[in-house]
């Protein structure tokens, strides 16, 4: 057994880890007793590239077509598939997914932002994070013929609202 395995942690610590049972085994959290509340999460990712690649995407001069539109749609689709991709995520009734691909000429590159909203027993942070991750990967895939050195950076939660743990907002100094 590995040294950092959950089974090696004292059982008093396991009580605070909702995805582990009393023996330290992974489990899907039981949210059946929770009340469905309005929940929203916003996540972000940064995609950096050469100025020439950025210019080609901005002018629509790419071999695969509408790079930004396809990346945006991929992000929306990914948010809806999160429970199929992340083993212990709950399938959620998502009411809204918005993915923005915002040009950042000074990088050069793009900031991708996803907002996901639901009324459910658990939050949508993973859906927002999945949306920006897949949108960024799709942007890379659509533009890799122009540049293989595109960098996907800084995937993170910006804010979340609702739920037992309360609201969260990224401290810009983090």
Catalytic position from the list 30, 66, 106, 141: 141
Q: In this structure, are residues 118 and 39 in contact, taking their beta carbons and an 8 Å threshold?
A: yes
- Give every CB contact of residue 44 below 8 A, 6+ residues apart in sequence: 111, 112, 113, 114, 132, 154, 155, 156, 158
Q: In this structure, are residues 125 and 39 in contact, taking their beta carbons and an 8 Å threshold?
A: no
150 to 48, 74, 110, 130, 137: CA distances (angstroms): 6, 18, 11, 19, 10
Q: In this structure, are residues 94 and 124 in contact, taking their beta carbons and an 8 Å threshold?
A: yes
Does the annotation mark 106 as catalytic? Answer: no
CA–CA gap between residue 119 and residue 163 (Å, rounded) = 10
Which residues are identified as catalytic? Answer: 141
């Amino acid at each position: 057994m590995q040294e950092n395995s959950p089974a090696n942690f004292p059982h008093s610590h396991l009580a605070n880890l909702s995805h582990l049972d009393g023996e330290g085994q992974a489990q899907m959290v039981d949210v059946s007793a929770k009340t469905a509340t309005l929940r929203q999460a916003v996540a972000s990712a940064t995609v950096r590239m050469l100025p020439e690649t950025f210019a080609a995407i901005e002018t629509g001069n790419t071999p695969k077509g509408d790079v930004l539109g396809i990346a945006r749609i991929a992000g929306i689709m990914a948010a809806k598939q999160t429970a199929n991709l992340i083993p212990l995520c709950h399938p959620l009734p998502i009411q809204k997914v918005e993915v923005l691909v915002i040009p950042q000429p000074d990088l050069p590159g793009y900031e991708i932002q996803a907002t996901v909203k639901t009324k459910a027993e658990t939050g949508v942070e993973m859906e927002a994070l999945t949306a920006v991750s897949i949108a960024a990967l799709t942007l890379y895939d659509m533009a890799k013929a122009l540049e293989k050195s595109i960098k996907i950076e800084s995937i993170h939660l910006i804010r979340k609202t609702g739920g037992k743990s309360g609201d969260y907002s990224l401290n810009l100094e983090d």
